[in-house]
Amino acid sequence: MNLDQLNIFADVTKLAPPIALALCLNVLGFAVKKLPRIPNDLIPIILALAGGVAFPFIAETGDISPAVANPVAMNVVYGICIGGLSVSMNQVWKVFQRLQGKGNGDTKTSIPNSASE
């Protein structure tokens, strides 16, 4: 097996824009959560819209099949999905913190303790 067959760097560079966008959207979500005028229920919508707007600008359209009628629209849909992914990443992080005993005491999303019930 030679280095041409591995081609790991090409695969990593293809994954980088969605991962970078998801991390940036997570930071945006934390910042929006600190704003008192914006309810928490709107944060997933804000992140989905921000992902849909931002991803077409950072995505590479050279790898998209010529059969796709509108690659920009496809990238908008990908960006919306990445916005949803960033919300999911945040929720997994919250669950992980609560399982480790580092939760913030938020009663709406706390995990019930089956031993106390």
pLDDT in tens, 22-40: 888 988 999 999 999 999 8
Q: Indicate yes or no: pTM above 0.85.
A: no
CA R_g for the chain: 19
Specify if 3 maps to a domain.
no
Q: Which residues of the chain have pLDDT under 70?
A: 1-15, 61-64, 103-117
For residues 56 and 76, is the Cβ–Cβ distance under 8 A?
yes
Q: What's the domain count of the chain? A: 1
Angle at 93 between CA 89 and CA 94, to 5 degrees: 120
Q: How many CB atoms lie within 10 A of CB 13?
A: 10
Which spans in the chain are helix H? 3-6, 8-34, 43-58, 71-99
Q: Are 52 and 92 in contact (CB under 8 A)?
A: no
29 in a structural domain? yes
Q: Is residue 85 in a domain?
A: yes
